Amino acid sequence: MIDHLKGAWRSMTIWFNVLFGAFVVNFDAVRDSLPQIQPYMTSALYNKLMLAAIIVNIALRFKTNQSLVSKARS
């Protein structure tokens, strides 16, 4: 588990998702710029869906071709 966390720290995919999630969830202007989705849901639901997408993306990172453990050791 420690190697997974060390590898996650070095993963650009995870860093991107964390920053993207913080940006989208915290800035109304970004959320409002997505007119295809916004009219069909509340702000709270939209935030929860974005968070879920980010969590799934991070989980999928563990399944890529280079493991987080090998990233920790490189």
pLDDT in tens, the chain (74 residues): 777 777 777 777 788 788 877 877 777 766 666 666 767 778 788 778 778 888 888 777 776 766 666 766 76
CA distances from 44 to 27, 31, 40 (A): 13, 11, 12
What range does the domain containing 50 cover? 2-73
Tokens 């493991």 -> residue: 67
DSSP SS3 for 2: helix
Domain count, the chain: 1
Residue type, 15: W
Count of residues in the chain: 74
